[in-house]
Amino acid sequence: MKTVFSEKHKLRDAKGELYQGEFVAPFECPRRAEIIIGAVRNRGLGEVLEPADYGLDPVMAVHDAGFVDFLRTFMDDWEAAGFKGEALAPCWPSRSMTASQIPLHVEGRLGYYALSTDTVMSRGTWEAAMSSKDVALTATDLVLDGKENVAFGLCRPPGHHAATDQFGGYCFFNNAAISAQHALDKGCAKVAILDVDFHHGNGTQEIFYDRDDVLFLSLHGDPMHTFPHFLGHAGETGKGAGEGFNWNYPLPPGASYQMWLAKLQDALARIQAYDPDMVIVSLGVDTFEHDPISFFKLTHDDFVDYGRRIATLGKPTVYVMEGGYAVEEIGINTTNVLFGHES
């Protein structure tokens, strides 16, 4: 299996993350991608390619232009306003406010476009996010062009929390959504996105919620108990033309692999019935039993097992990297899925 990877991921190197009321070193750090690419190489998964440059058109196909402009210009605006260091939203359009206008002030714009405070804005984030979507798009084209049946986009920063016009949960551009739309724009009629990250793919759901040309399925920690807390319930099944094309599988704290696998099998059956032209897997390995911020119990071997099961779909498949914060074991867990797929 070929891997697409860019060293530019390192440009996203925030100093701080707000976690349980304190600033800590970010869980989502450059070392994650370094460990994964090390495992790809050491274990001989296959060739590693540089991404092509796709520019902004495929980003604009799923994200709001004002949001993209915000991400591009924010750090300049922040520093021009005299603020130092990294930026977190101080307030946001809360449930008790109408947000009828987008503020002019840099902190107001930040709050408007943010969906969480765990994720700071920092210098280099824009460039890293641009390279990350190029990684996903290049992997997608490897499969779309018929050269490969499966490919791995080693994206960083991740993408599945990024919504049409909001960043957060360590995500800026929604790489999986951008890739799915790109596949549709290149002639696919239907794409399925299977999100196996520990967290609900709230951004991906939101982007495609009223559409039937993308089937979205997410296995994740119940939002009653974990981030993103305010989306990802089982009752969210799509709306309008999208009704029946969104499937959430929330699982409780401590859920075993057997519980998780039962949901995966349901999801795979739904994908099979949908018969997509391509499957995009939002691959987060924060389902691992020793992940520091998550509560599932998957072991190293379970990752091999579910990769094998996803492969049984027999569909052209692109894996795009999402989360996983047990950093020293993120390489083995990620490549276990990919080797499982190939086995």
- Give the active site residues: 161
Distance CA 152, CA 5 (A): 9
Q: Is 149 a residue that touches a copy of itself (CB under 8 A)?
A: no
**Segment near a copy of itself (CB under 8 A), from 117-125, 139-147, 177-185, 317-325?**
117-125
Distance CA 280, CA 262 (A): 20
| Four-residue CA torsion sign, 219, 225, 227, 230 | positive
Q: Is 258 a residue that touches a copy of itself (CB under 8 A)?
A: no
Distance CA 293, CA 259 (A): 20
Closest by CA position to 205, among listed 226, 185, 223? 223
Distance CA 212, CA 163 (A): 18
CB of 133 to a copy of itself, least distance (A): 18
Residue 198 interface partner, choices a copy of itself, Zn ion, none, CB cut-off 5-8 Å depending on type: Zn ion
Q: Is 214 a residue that touches a copy of itself (CB under 8 A)?
A: no
Q: Is 52 a residue that touches a copy of itself (CB under 8 A)?
A: no
Total binding residues for a copy of itself by CB under 8 A? 59
Contacts by 270-275 with C-beta closer than 8 Å and gap 24+?
270/215, 270/217, 271/192, 271/194, 271/215, 271/217, 271/313, 271/315, 272/313, 274/190, 274/192, 274/215, 275/190
CB of 72 to a copy of itself, least distance (A): 19
Residue 323 interface partner, choices a copy of itself, Zn ion, none, CB cut-off 5-8 Å depending on type: Zn ion
Of 47, 57, 97, 254, the one binding a copy of itself by CB under 8 A: 97
Q: Distances from the Cα of 123 to the Cαs of 29, 34, 77, 126, 315, in angstroms? A: 14, 20, 12, 8, 39
Q: Is 235 a residue that touches a copy of itself (CB under 8 A)?
A: yes
Residue 260 interface partner, choices Zn ion, a copy of itself, none, CB cut-off 5-8 Å depending on type: none
**Residue owning tokens 């798009």:** 137
Contact yes or no for 202/161 (Cβ under 8 A): yes
CB of 310 to a copy of itself, least distance (A): 27
Distance CA 23, CA 83 (A): 18
Residue 20 interface partner, choices Zn ion, a copy of itself, none, CB cut-off 5-8 Å depending on type: a copy of itself
Closest by CA position to 11, among listed 131, 113, 114? 131
Of 44, 104, 146, 328, the one binding a copy of itself by CB under 8 A: 104
CB of 276 to Zn ion, least distance (A): 23
Distance CA 197, CA 24 (A): 22
CB of 63 to a copy of itself, least distance (A): 11
CB of 168 to Zn ion, least distance (A): 12
Q: Is 325 a residue that touches a copy of itself (CB under 8 A)?
A: no
Q: Is 226 a residue that touches a copy of itself (CB under 8 A)?
A: yes
Q: Is 231 a residue that touches a copy of itself (CB under 8 A)?
A: yes
Determine the residue type at 312.
T
Residue 6 interface partner, choices a copy of itself, Zn ion, none, CB cut-off 5-8 Å depending on type: none
Closest by CA position to 78, among listed 40, 116, 110, 48? 110
Q: Is 292 a residue that touches a copy of itself (CB under 8 A)?
A: no
Distance CA 1, CA 60 (A): 29
Residue 7 interface partner, choices a copy of itself, Zn ion, none, CB cut-off 5-8 Å depending on type: none
Structure tokens at 130: 């641009």
Q: Distances from the Cα of 124 to the Cαs of 9, 14, 192, in angstroms? A: 9, 9, 31
Please say which residue, 68 or 251, places its beta carbon nearer to Zn ion: 251
Chain residues binding a copy of itself by CB under 8 A are 18-23, 83-101, 103-105, 107-108, 111-112, 114-118, 120, 163-166, 168-169, 202-203, 206, 223-231, 233, 235-236
